[in-house]
Structure 1
Amino acid sequence: EDGTLGFECTLEEVDLEDITKNQINTIKACTPEDPGTGNCPSLERSTLDTHQCLQGIYEDLSTYRAELRNFSDQKVLAAIDEMMKVLNTSSRHGLQPVAGTVPSSFSERMRLCSILHAFRIRTVTINRLVNFLSSPESSL
């Protein structure tokens, strides 16, 4: 929210931090191992491991939820929980809500700003992949 961090949290103000880079994540799980030439590999159903891709998305959501649990709005956490439930229908345990707090130091607030922007960008990728997976036939 505007003003929550005590400064304008814009993408230009922060260096993005990929908190998922050392684990399975959406990008690693949903792109082919051999992307071919160019910067934008095409994604085809024949080479996509849907289960692995959905697992990568789930892991991303889990990582971001854990990182944001102490600082974020309960609506954000509830939305992440709902997405995780849809992806992991076999899960029988619910995630417990945590009281959110605003980080106290400036560096903590800058880091939260960075993580929120990185998460926003990742959700665009997740949205595109879910749309791709749910479409009858297409390629990215």
Structure 2
Amino acid sequence: FLSYFCLFPDFSSALTLLVLSSPIPQVKQSLPQTGGEQMMDSCVFYAEKLLRNITDTLTQTKLFSGIDCRKQNMELNLETSTPSVCSPRTSTCSGSTKSEFDEESCLMNIGADLTHYHNLLSAQPDPDNLLNLSVLSSLRELMENCFKESLPTKLAPRKDAVDTTRNFNERLSLCKVLRGFQVRTITINRAISYMNSGEHLQ
């Protein structure tokens, strides 16, 4: 379980399959939210739903005609430290054993990731409403129920689409962004499950 937090691009696809095929763990307790409220057990479900929708969207031919997103590089959000601060106690991803887990820092970084991708994807042209009905819908659902303080109050203006088809570079860029979001969401899923399991309190 701990090794799943040591993410590298070359085996992210195998890790995605592992996450998607794993059953939702039984939650032992609620998780404190950064705003002082209680994170509901259903946040595990919302996070998994988001991951599934991202994975499904990467196979949409209307968005990525002529591109196999599974073989593309990814663009990760480098402004947060989610993979490192959300790694469990006793993990050895960096070569040294981690003895402490900062729950507040992990939640803050997850929230910042969600805000980043929400703003980025909300501004994308979406003539067929595919992003809004899948990835953005489940992303907002996770934020509204579990990370309310991270939900932007004002959306970035959506880019105007000249026509209903994206050019190749736009489609490739979106593919890379979603690939990065997919891998980051794997980390978020594991972190939420870890905190809800109560293992970080033992």
Alignment equivalent of 1:124, drawn from 176, 181, 186: 186
CA displacement at 1:71 relative to structure 2: 4.2
2:166 corresponds to? 104
Give the gaps of 5 or more residues in structure 1.
none
Contact 1:28 1:56 in 2 (8 A): no
Q: Which protein has the bigger helix share?
A: 2
How many residues are treated as equivalent by the alignment?
Answer: 132
1:16–1:57 Cα change, 3 Å: same
Matched, 1:56 2:109: yes
Q: Check whether the contact 1:25–1:60 (CA below 8 A) recurs between aligned residues.
A: no
**TM-score, length of structure 2 as denominator length:** 0.53
Q: RMSD of the alignment, in Å?
A: 3.4
Q: Percent identity?
A: 25
Alpha-carbon offset, residue 15 of structure 1: 1.6
Partner residue, 2:83: 27
Task: State the Cα distance separating 1:137 from its structure 2 match.
Answer: 2.2
Is 1:3 matched with 2:61?
A: yes
Is the contact between residue 132 and residue 138 of structure 1 (CA under 8 Å) also seen in structure 2? yes
TM-superposed deviation, 1:29: 3.3
Q: Which has the higher contact order (CA 8 A, sep 6+)?
A: 2
Q: Which runs of 5+ in 2 are unaligned?
A: 1-56
TM-score (norm 1): 0.72
Give the partner amino acid of 1:105.
N
Q: Is the 8 A contact 1:17 1:114 kept in 2?
A: yes
- Cα 1:119–1:103 change in 2 (3 A) is farther
In 2: Cα distance, 1:9 partner to 1:122 partner: 20
Structure 2 CA distance for aligned equivalents of residues 67 and 92 of structure 1 = 13
Q: What residue in structure 2 maps to residue 17 of structure 1? A: 75
- 3-state SS of 1:17 partner: coil
